[in-house]
Amino acid sequence: MTEAKKARKARRITILGSTGSIGVNTLDLLEFAARRGEAEFQIEALTAHRNVALLAQQAKKFRPRFVAIGDEALRDDLDAALAGTGIETGAGPSALEDAAARDADWVMAAIVGAAGLHPTLRAAKRGASIALANKECLVCAGDVLTAAIAEAGGELLPVDSEHNAIFQVFDFERPERVSRLILTASGGPFREWTRSQMAAATPAQAVAHPNWSMGAKISVDSATLMNKGLELIEAAHIFPISHEQIEIVVHPQSVIHSMVEYVDGSVLAQLGTPDMRTPIATTLAWPDRTPSPSARLDFAKIARLTFEAPDPVRFPALRLARESVAQGGVFPAMLNAANEVAVAAFLAGNLKFLDIAGVTEQVLEQAGRRNGPARLSTLDEAVAADQEGRRLAALAVAARAAA
Ligand code: NDP
């Protein structure tokens, strides 16, 4: 590698949510790139919510300048774990924002849920390159976030494998030549289950994804197919295309990560093994490429790629997401908030699997009776919709538990 190329890749990096599945994969990839001399980087900041032990371990290894724990009560534990290292620490939600505000030029947004909204927005407003895994913040406040990125002259690099795939083959110069986006879905662990089997599904069964190893929340979203619904809304924010031109097809092998159809009928796809280090590598080096340790596709071994339509009866989450994005305004934020509350209740053993979509639908019906802005253009509006969605969902969960 030439010195010029190396210098161009020297980066200051912050990882919001470094202890999660995406965060760990990002650090793994950075270590791989550094070992091969492919990239030079300084970690500016790392954040976690409660996992002090892993955060401290990562900090000792990667030597960030600043480390933040979201749970204020764990401040002393973090300080004790990093005593004598000289690494600056912070605790509480404001410390997550402080981490995002620091001068990193590439920020991995990998906090799970709407909790990532404020820190991600903070990094966006500085004009950083945002590698966005945290789809919920785009669903909850997509217009606010994309406007902040554009205004500050930054860029949004999608990490979600489907959007990363589309990003690689989408003709941004001539978007009117694109006729359709086709998001692929693995179908999740319950693809072949009956509705009555799904009614009795346990958290352990729901998080056992057939192809991908991910955090608990997104794994449950994959089992309900809400993940694909959130991705549909996410895609409508990232790409200059109407939500009506986005289709979803179940592709159980998870080899084709998504496709773009052009007006002449040509379909361009991106393929790869189900390893998040590939899309993370794309965002790290974009528009260049950097090697990744992910396994390569063995087409002869795969032999067959299959496709099927998603079942709207067993997976109502897709319809809810479509209705929300069509209605706009507060609906996507409330959909996301209700789903987050319902998934957390399911994982805690307080809600049945099929009631995740049930609670979400109930919240959206209640939202439909209220008036709200047709488009959320401020952070306050998005946060208010998120909080109202959470409040209504908590009531709906409690009512079902009491029934
Ligand atoms: P994980 O649950 O594995 O990790 C989440 C990270 O966010 C952890 O660092 C966690 O800290 C932190 N966190 C959790 N709650 C809060 C909070 N309230 N405030 C601040 N930080 C918090 O999730 P994933 O890595 O699987 O997913 C992260 C995001 O990426 C999600 O939005 C997901 O949808 C998206 N994504 C994930 C993919 C994957 O393969 N995993 C693929 C595509 C998208 P702690 O460890 O201390 O709890």
Atom of ligand 1 nearest to the CA of 160: 43
pLDDT, average across residues 17-22: 98
Atom of ligand 1 nearest to the CA of 21: 25
Ligand 1: centre distance to CA 165 (Å)? 21
Ligand 1: centre distance to CA 327 (Å)? 28
260 in contact with ligand 1, CB cutoff 6 A: no
Ligand 1: centre distance to CA 22 (Å)? 7
Q: Measuring from atom 4 of ligand 1, which residue has the nearest CA?
A: 20
Question: What's the angle, vertex CA 107, arms to CA 103 and CA 109, rounded to 5?
Answer: 135
Atom of ligand 1 nearest to the CA of 219: 26
Query: Coil, strand, or helix at residue 54?
Result: helix
DSSP annotation of 131 reads: E
Ligand 1: centre distance to CA 6 (Å)? 30
400 in contact with ligand 1, CB cutoff 6 A: no
Question: Which pairs count as long-range contacts for 24-28, CB under 8 Å and 24+ apart, including other chains?
Answer: 25/276, 25/277, 25/280, 26/108, 26/110, 26/131, 26/280, 27/58, 27/62, 28/277, 28/293
pLDDT of residue 19: 98
272 in contact with ligand 1, CB cutoff 6 A: no
Q: Give residue-wise pLDDT tens across range 188-200.
A: 999 999 999 999 9
pLDDT, average across residues 182-208: 97
22 in contact with ligand 1, CB cutoff 6 A: yes
Look at residue 144 and tell me whether its pLDDT is greater than 80.
yes
pLDDT of residue 371: 62
Ligand 1: centre distance to CA 217 (Å)? 8
Question: What whole-number percentage of the chain has pLDDT above 70?
Answer: 96
Query: Which has more confidence, 206 or 211?
Result: 206
pLDDT of residue 166: 98
Q: Measuring from atom 36 of ligand 1, which residue has the nearest CA?
A: 133
Ligand 1: centre distance to CA 352 (Å)? 23
pLDDT of residue 223: 98
227 in contact with ligand 1, CB cutoff 6 A: no
119 in contact with ligand 1, CB cutoff 6 A: no
Look at residue 9 and tell me whether its pLDDT is greater than 60.
no
- Of the candidates 108, 128, 109, which has an alpha carbon nearest to the alpha carbon of residue 118? 109
pTM passes above 0.85: yes
For residue 367, name the pLDDT band (cuts at 50, 70, 90).
confident
Q: What is the mean pLDDT of the chain?
A: 95
- Between β-strands 106-109 and 129-132, what pairing exists: parallel, antiparallel or unpaired? parallel
For residue 3, name the pLDDT band (cuts at 50, 70, 90).
very low
Question: What's the angle, vertex CA 397, arms to CA 318 and CA 359, rounded to 5?
Answer: 20
For residue 372, name the pLDDT band (cuts at 50, 70, 90).
low
Look at residue 7 and tell me whether its pLDDT is greater than 50.
no
Q: 164-274+301-402 belongs to which CATH class?
A: mainly alpha
pLDDT of residue 5: 47
Question: Which pairs count as long-range contacts for 301-307, CB under 8 Å and 24+ apart, including other chains?
Answer: 302/253, 302/255, 304/253, 305/251, 305/253, 305/255, 305/256, 306/251, 306/252, 306/253, 307/249, 307/250, 307/251
Atom of ligand 1 nearest to the CA of 213: 40
pLDDT of residue 8: 46
Ligand 1: centre distance to CA 17 (Å)? 6
E runs forming strands in 210-345: 246-250, 256-262, 267-271
Distances (CA, A) of 274 to 188, 213, 285: 13, 9, 19
Structure tokens given for 217: 């929340």
91 in contact with ligand 1, CB cutoff 6 A: no
Q: What's the gap between Cα 188 and its chain centre?
A: 17
**Residue boundaries of the structural domains of the chain:** 3-159, 164-274+301-402
pLDDT of residue 377: 86
Ligand 1: centre distance to CA 215 (Å)? 6
Q: Give residue-wise pLDDT tens across range 296-330.
A: 999 999 999 999 999 999 999 999 999 999 999 99
78 in contact with ligand 1, CB cutoff 6 A: no
Q: Give residue-wise pLDDT tens across range 378-395.
A: 999 999 999 999 999 999
pLDDT, average across residues 164-192: 98
Bond into 287 cis (ω within 30): yes
Q: Measuring from atom 39 of ligand 1, which residue has the nearest CA?
A: 214
pLDDT of residue 212: 86
- CATH topology assigned to domain 3-159: Rossmann fold (3.40.50)
Look at residue 39 and tell me whether its pLDDT is greater than 90.
no
